[in-house]
Structure 1
Amino acid sequence: MALIDPQDFDAKIHIDGHWADGGGEPIDVVEPATGTSLGTIGGASPDDVTRATRSAVVAQREWAALSHPERAAVLHRAADLWDRHSEEIIGWNTREVGAIAPMAAFAVKVAAAECREAGSLPSHPLGEVLASEKPRLSMARRVPVGVVGVISPFNVPIILGIRAVAPALALGNAVLLKPDPRTAVTGGVTMVRIFEEAGLPPGLLQLLPGGADVGEAMVTEPDVRVVAFTGSTQAGRIVGELAGRHLKRAHLELGGNSAFLVLDDADVDRAVNLATWGSFLHQGQICMTIGRHLVHESLYEQYVEKLAAKAESMAVGDPTGQVHLGPVIDEGQRDRILALIGRSVEMGAELRAGGTADGLFVRPTVLAGPPPDAPAYCEEVFGPVATVVPFADDDEAVKLASASDYGLSLGIVTAQPLRGLALAERIPSGIVHINDQTVDDEANSPFGGVGASGTGSRHGGAAANIEAFTETRWITMRAEPGEYPL
């Protein structure tokens, strides 16, 4: 039996356990590789956010009151369902998102791992006994926040949604999920159906596809106490400002322009292998993508030549076939990528590979020696574009790597790992990989960036998730009522 049936969600949103009409315009689900319509999903309105929140508040109280094994069991069943329906979900991920099969399969694997990791949270110690100057028991206890709003992007919608949805549910919260409307089936319907089959009670996961007005309503809704947002830095600033105005927490995982340092003792062939994956995987539409390749001057020309040759050899096309890269998500994204390339070449960057597109299929591109203010070098491209710049010594490498508002992921290739670690400690970054590329994600590891890349590690691992999706409550108990002098 299929997990996802387009007839079930045809022009519908999901509220209180039911597919229902939404107040927004229906959204056409389009396959970017072919332009084919894959179905229609409902569009939500701000009023739907209010309606969903009312339902979620009621459902959350009953859910939080369940025993920890009951909540954990739902998460473990969900993990098994990701595995059981993986082939079907991979198909949707490939067609709706444009992910090649290995990338689509990786997302499903991570989703299962996220649910299994979240399944350990209900039984995790949720407080501590505190010393007190009075004769009483004093405790700090973690309690669910109540309702969590999750706003996820188009690029890797399964991973970037489930990493907030799963732990938030496991810790006793209800969730309102607003996926990007371009990938609302893979990033929304799939999750609703997985948890529905896993036995999650109605009202705890509500699906609200829509635009910025729906996201704004979610942030301003009084009973939504925490917002987990993944998206562009520009949009994240708006979400953070709005959340601050309404005195609620916003966990912001934003953009990146990750640096990849190739030191003078590195093996060039192995470095290029890492760089190819880090820059061109999923058409470069990953926040951790390598944007800036900083290569020691003694290896620079050899590195550029080999990376360009690798880029030229890669197959780009329909992701249902045997290709290395699929399409970017839409025409707007394609046009922005090509404009950044074009302006950078005009400013002096040397085009060594790619730089063209056929429809939504953008060729992997290598730009050598761009000036520091070239947009493809200093901005997040979110496309398959590698800029390569030489450096003379370690101090210059640190200076170049640190000269960015972003600070998400950092890769360093060297024959001396401790030298790489010493350099990494001088470069602001939420994630560091020595002798590896920048694109990596594990369910039990903290994930997040600094600076323009977000508000730090708010996803992954028990410590980050418990901090993100619970509140701390101070509780004291005395054997007898205390006496005061007034």
Structure 2
Amino acid sequence: MTTTPDAAGPWLASTTWNSKAFSRGWRALGKSSDVIEPATGRTLGAVANASPDDIASASADARAAQAAWAATPYDQRAAVLRKAAELAGANREEIVDWLVRESGSIRPKAEFELAVTIKALHEASAMPSQAQGQVLPSEPGRLSIARRRPIGVVGVISPFNFPLYLAMRAVAPALAVGNAVVLKPDPRTSVCGGFSIARLFEDAGLPAGVLHVLPGGGDAGEALCKDPNVGMIQFTGSTAAGRRVGKVAGEHLKKLSLELGGKNSLIVLDDADMDLAIANTTWGVYLHQGQICMSAGRVLVHSKIADEFTRRMAEKANNLPVGDPASGQVAMGPLINQGQVDHASDIVHRSVAQGAKLAAGGEAKGLFFGATVLSGVKPGMAAFEEEIFGPVASITPFDSDEEAVRLANQTDFGLSAAIISRSVGRAMAIGEQLRVGLLHINDQTVNDEVVNPFGGVGASGNGTSIGGPANWEEFTQWQWMTVKDAAPRYPL
């Protein structure tokens, strides 16, 4: 369906945010960029682009506001987060509509993203009332405590692919434990991935200055990483960008959480149920057009079943409808922009030139890239080595469990892996040898349930995790405190 930008309702109406950012209310900045609907090319409005000076001003303001927020009684902080979750549910249709139009999500994906976002808010709302430290052994007459304290100001740099959830999974727990937040959403998805968050907390009663939402480019992100008022950077995005963020933030001694890319292997053993294997692979490869860090970038299939598997995947790919997700009649929407289309096309064409076979798809019409199947992919080929971030099933056969392990580990990435087999013991024996942060037996690679620690190793991150119990580790720092009734007399 075709809608005007404000047709869904007034809560996220462009009259609130058009050409503005959120920093102690909605205000215009010096520059702005258009909000483009990738499926149609329509302009839906504009968002302000923060300069380094805007970042500096917001970070200083956040630091000034943080102490009072941290001192707010725990039940009041929890209430703000619960109210934000309630408001997300009440404004469900508008938020989902913006996810569909601005990020190119099909509606079921957008609805799922909102659901896990609400869950993240509920989980974060429980944090203020949880135990925040430990009583340590000590000498008689002295109390020794290790307690969790907020970092201060947390800078969050979020991506375009799951823009709402991947921002909220950091913003909500950071606020819950008493931090202030400066959020820089991807400028391509700043409404659904930034301004919707600003509106939720604005209406939920979060004190002014505790949350700032400023879209911007690389200069704004660099300013956030350097700013002396910011104690931590939580970044989700590509490995290349993550390396730059890590370098700049590390030079300024920031606490750093990097959630980066992946070249994730979905291993299909020869005893797998073929129907289930095809269903899991289809989801793991093509969900959100493959624009997910956990997407199955390598489909490793036992050679005994590789030919049948390839034939059936090609049949499935040829029957997945692609088009405007606002129509509600498609399985895949557009890629985010022409650069991503060109990147995916280049990898497919280079892989075919290197000897891979194109079993389905491989062509783009505008930003719509058809579901693609490459067979006979071998180490050294572009589709085996590089993160595609597009809807491409890259199928590599293997002859033994040992070879499957070797192929899966033949990468600098280490995010997610999955194994499909009727033998759980065999699958777990393989899984124990994989260097990944996320492992799924009899499932596909794209999974996140909010309550789980989420993170990768190697080129997929700096070994940190976000989510569930890991949030206490990420968004607080330890303080050791001792208490005596009177100061001792030392001999010097």
For Structure 1 versus Structure 2, the TM-score category normalised by the shorter chain is over 0.9
Structure 1 unaligned segments of length 5 or more: list them.
none
Q: How does 1:48-59 map to 2 (within 5 A)?
A: 48-59=54-65
Question: Hey, which bits of structure 1, 4+ residues long, moved more than 6 A?
Answer: none
Partner of 2:90: 84
TM-score, normalization by structure 2: 0.97
**Cα distance in 1 between the residues matched to 2:144 and 2:483:** 7
Aligned partner (choices 442, 445, 451) of residue 458 of structure 2: 451
Partner of 2:6: none
| 1:447–1:456 contact (8 Å) kept in structure 2 | no
**Cα distance in 1 between the residues matched to 2:381 and 2:92:** 41
Partner of 2:436: 429
| 1:10–1:41 contact (8 Å) kept in structure 2 | yes
Aligned partner (choices 456, 459, 465) of residue 471 of structure 2: 465
Partner of 1:95: 101
Matched to 1:108, the amino acid is L
Offset of 1:134 from its aligned partner?
Answer: 6.3
Aligned partner (choices 126, 138, 142) of residue 144 of structure 2: 138
| 1:411–1:433 contact (8 Å) kept in structure 2 | yes
- 1:190 paired to 2:196: yes
Task: Give the match's secondary structure for 1:66.
Answer: coil
Offset of 1:56 from its aligned partner?
Answer: 0.7
Partner of 1:369: 376
Task: Give the match's secondary structure for 1:94.
Answer: helix
Aligned partner (choices 11, 18, 23) of residue 10 of structure 1: 18
**Cα distance in 2 between the residues matched to 1:378 and 1:268:** 26
Task: Give the match's secondary structure for 2:216.
Answer: coil
Task: Give the match's secondary structure for 1:474.
Answer: strand
Offset of 1:375 from its aligned partner?
Answer: 1.2
Deviates more, 1:449-458 or 1:310-319: 449-458
Deviates more, 1:342-351 or 1:368-377: 368-377
Aligned partner (choices 280, 303, 311) of residue 274 of structure 1: 280
- 1:122 paired to 2:128: yes
- 1:109 paired to 2:118: no
Partner of 2:362: 355
- 1:245 paired to 2:230: no
Matched to 1:365, the amino acid is T
| 1:280–1:384 contact (8 Å) kept in structure 2 | yes
Offset of 1:133 from its aligned partner?
Answer: 4.1
Partner of 1:485: 491
Post-superposition CA distance 1:183-202 (Å, at most 9, x none)? 01011100000111111111
Deviates more, 1:91-100 or 1:129-138: 129-138
Post-superposition CA distance 1:260-280 (Å, at most 9, x none)? 001111111210110000000
- 1:415 paired to 2:414: no
**Cα distance in 2 between the residues matched to 1:45 and 1:289:** 33
Offset of 1:421 from its aligned partner?
Answer: 1.3
| 1:146–1:224 contact (8 Å) kept in structure 2 | yes
Offset of 1:238 from its aligned partner?
Answer: 0.9
Offset of 1:55 from its aligned partner?
Answer: 1.1
| 1:57–1:147 contact (8 Å) kept in structure 2 | yes
Instruction: Indicate the RMSD between aligned Cα atoms, in angstroms.
Output: 0.9
Partner of 2:343: 336
| 1:42–1:209 contact (8 Å) kept in structure 2 | yes
Partner of 1:177: 183
Q: How does 1:9-88 map to 2 (within 5 A)?
A: 9-16=17-24, 18-23=25-30, 25-88=31-94
Q: Percent identity?
A: 51
Task: Give the match's secondary structure for 2:473.
Answer: helix
Aligned partner (choices 320, 326, 331) of residue 326 of structure 2: 320
| 1:49–1:217 contact (8 Å) kept in structure 2 | yes
**Cα distance in 2 between the residues matched to 1:420 and 1:2:** 51
Structure 2 unaligned segments of length 5 or more: list them.
1-8
Offset of 1:356 from its aligned partner?
Answer: 0.1
Post-superposition CA distance 1:27-76 (Å, at most 9, x none)? 10000000000001111000001110121112111110011100000111
- 1:163 paired to 2:169: yes
Offset of 1:153 from its aligned partner?
Answer: 0.6
Partner of 2:222: 216
TM-score, normalization by structure 1: 0.98
Matched to 2:452, the amino acid is S
Matched to 2:379, the amino acid is P
